[in-house]
Structure 1
Amino acid sequence: MIRTWTEHPARTGIRRDVSLDFACPESDGQASEDDGAARLSTAAAVWHYPAQVSAPADSARPARRLLLIHGFRGDHHGMALIVDALPEFEIFVPDLPGFGATPPLRRGAGGLAEHTLGAYAACVEALAQALDLGPTDVLVGHSFGSIIVAAHAAQTHPAGHAAQTNPAAHAAQNLPADPAPGSSQSRRWAGLVLFAPISNDIFTGTLLPGAAAVDLYYRASGRLPARWAQVLLRSPAAQAVTNASMILARAPEQVAYIKDQHRRYFSGYSDPNTLLQAYRASSRHTVTEFAPSLDLPVLLVPGAQDQLSTPAGQRRLRRMLPQASSEVLRGTGHLLHYEKPAQAGRALRRFVAALD
């Protein structure tokens, strides 16, 4: 059945469990390759969607594949409508470590690792290598995923190493040490697509009141015993506030779908500590930190009424990117992946066509 919102039938993914083992981004570079403490690992659950529409036999264009990275407190389900809207693409959608079916990151043979932005960015590189994604493919992120993929692309793109322009900021962000150009860790994506990119420091200006309330909620959760933290973090009231503040759709069926998605997957994290670490990573960084180093084609797709970024912040981000284009989606905000998936898919399709 064709979904009204995507203009295409729903797609069914094939789950693949991918073992990842990669360098710890907090390593000071002095640990040996065989030092287990210098490495992170997990078994990533990845959903693979083969292309449903074949390219013309005489097409000279490369068969571009997509790697989609979801946002905070989500998992691969959050990208489902975007996937449906793009039937001609082969797509991979992982659950990030600590969310959905992917366990938290572990450090060597020891306990759980800290889930920093650098760790998530390094995990994307490990996924790309394991899935054999290369220079003809496109990396996509939504919300917190936009920050993760920007951090990853700035670090691994041959012409865009953040440490070359700001070593102190690079170290503070816990990003991996620079790979040598041409090494196996040096990766040139064909392009980068950022849905609802985080362009503003949410603790400033008009975004501050809402951000302060959310921060208080997570800080309070972090001070509670695990049992009570779970009660607060999984509270139906918290979901209701999220729904009331974020949903802009008006069609009853669509509103019901979004609320059901939040009910099913909003609490699909592994444990409160990992969730709080991911919250800190998502709320203390923006795409703008990495924009000057993103020396590759970038598509920005913000919602016109995004609740986590301002129009001025989005314009500033656009000016900072050397090779960027932007398509603003009207009538939606931060939940554009639920509310405007067909429009988001068309924007991505035009961007990819322009790469050829």
Structure 2
Amino acid sequence: MSGTAAHRPLTPSGAPEPFFRKAAVRSFTVDGAVQVCRDFPPVTGDDAGLPPIFMVHGFRGDHHGLLRIVEALPRHRILVPDLPGFGSGAALPGRHDVPAYTGFIREALAALGLGPDTVLLGHSFGSIIAAHLAAESPELISELVLVNPICEPALEGPKGITSKAAELYYRLAAALPEKPGMALLRSPVIVRGMSMLMAKTKDPGLRRWIHAQHDAYFSAFANRRVVLDAFRASISATVRDVAAQLTMPVLLIAAEQDDIGSVRGQRLLAERIPDAELDILPGVGHLVHYEKPAEAADTIEDFLSRRHP
């Protein structure tokens, strides 16, 4: 590892220290809907020649979920939008599926003036979006980084029963009338249950912080149509679908205990990508961005340092 990532200590309670990086809030329009991106400048003096990193968050989250990785990469300019319909991002007029989100990323890169030296990073559902953009428009980016990549269809994963239960939950939310359907989607009990299943850390303070993050941001979606569209997209596509078309260097940061992507599935994914590196982090599941952001950042720095000396 490069040792250049910022390793922020945990507080005595086990939660991370407060986030310290400041960002400019930039807005742009896609299909008539106003979108928002946080633009974090470098905070160190040794950033000359380093590429900017554009990050795509996962399903039901917003930019907050990636802030710990942002914090751990102080040498880079980093841009993190909220996906349309989540956080501060306005809903798009049409369906919120993978092609729509891929188009959003393409429009965002252009609107924000990002060139072909840009590194594209996606976490979880964001890995699907980022990979499809990279396959369709490889000229727009230099490298691709996928954290907790979706390597296999949801119902094929190591916890297929859990995935099927999630599918039934979202189907029920869609079948109910608007008000009870929204209440079910935003149920604090359901959100906490999801958080408890995903968190693998044994540190009680860190677990409480993770649950608080999900409580605060996991239901920040514009309407029921958005979240149901995005869920259907998340289970109908994978990175594997476009793996052979990824011609740029690709870093896969996977997790040993990920309930959504098995280690075997991640290794098979890496084999399908022409130029891929796979790093499997032990002792963590689908929340690498919360539980091991510094380790992920070190892996990213090492990967990029060998391509941008």
Q: Percent of counterpart pairs with the same letter?
A: 37
TM-score by length of structure 2 reads 0.93
Structure number with the bigger relative contact order (C-alpha 8 A, sep ≥ 6) is 2
Give distance in 1, aligned partners of 2:18 and 2:243: 33
Give distance in 2, aligned partners of 1:87 and 1:315: 30
Aligned equivalent of 1:176: none
Give distance in 2, aligned partners of 1:282 and 1:202: 8
1:80 equivalenced with 2:67 (yes/no): yes
1:45 equivalenced with 2:50 (yes/no): no
1:193 equivalenced with 2:184 (yes/no): no
Aligned equivalent of 1:12: 22
C-alpha contact (below 8 Å) 1:115/1:277 kept by paired residues: yes
Aligned equivalent of 1:255: 207
Q: Which residues of 2 match residues 207-356 of structure 1 at below 5 A?
A: 207-356=159-308
C-alpha contact (below 8 Å) 2:157/2:260 kept by paired residues: no
Q: CA RMSD in A?
A: 1.7
C-alpha contact (below 8 Å) 1:318/1:326 kept by paired residues: yes
Q: Aligned partner of 2:67: which letter?
A: A
Give distance in 2, aligned partners of 1:345 and 1:237: 32
SS in 2 for 1:198: coil
1:94 equivalenced with 2:85 (yes/no): no
C-alpha contact (below 8 Å) 1:7/1:85 kept by paired residues: no
C-alpha contact (below 8 Å) 1:246/1:333 kept by paired residues: yes
How far is 1:253 from its partner? 2.0
Q: Aligned partner of 1:339: which letter?
A: E
C-alpha contact (below 8 Å) 2:157/2:261 kept by paired residues: no
Give distance in 2, aligned partners of 1:139 and 1:120: 14
Indicate the larger mover: 301-310 or 9-18. 9-18
Question: Deviations along 1:257-301, whole A, 9 cap, x unmatched?
Answer: 101100100100000111100000011111000100000000000
How many residues are matched?
Answer: 298
How far is 1:243 from its partner? 1.9
C-alpha contact (below 8 Å) 1:3/1:9 kept by paired residues: no
Indicate the larger mover: 342-351 or 196-205. 196-205
1:3 equivalenced with 2:13 (yes/no): no
Q: Aligned partner of 1:231: which letter?
A: A
Change (3 A) 1:63 1:342: same
Aligned equivalent of 2:116: 135
Bigger CA radius of gyration: 1
- Stretches of structure 2 lacking an aligned partner (at least 5 in a row): 1-5, 11-15
SS in 2 for 1:309: coil
Q: Aligned partner of 1:12: which letter?
A: K
Indicate the larger mover: 289-298 or 228-237. 228-237
Give distance in 1, aligned partners of 2:298 and 2:254: 14
SS in 1 for 2:61: coil
How far is 1:129 from its partner? 0.6
How far is 1:7 from its partner? 9.2
TM-score by length of structure 1 reads 0.81
Give distance in 2, aligned partners of 1:282 and 1:327: 23
C-alpha contact (below 8 Å) 1:196/1:302 kept by paired residues: yes
Give distance in 2, aligned partners of 1:351 and 1:9: 25
Q: Which residues of 2 match residues 101-120 of structure 1 at below 5 A?
A: 101-106=88-93, 113-120=94-101
C-alpha contact (below 8 Å) 1:199/1:314 kept by paired residues: yes
Q: 1:148 is matched with which residue: 129, 143, 165?
A: 129
Give distance in 1, aligned partners of 2:27 and 2:247: 32
SS in 1 for 2:281: coil
Question: Deviations along 1:21-42, whole A, 9 cap, x unmatched?
Answer: xxxxxxxxxxxxxxxxxxx342
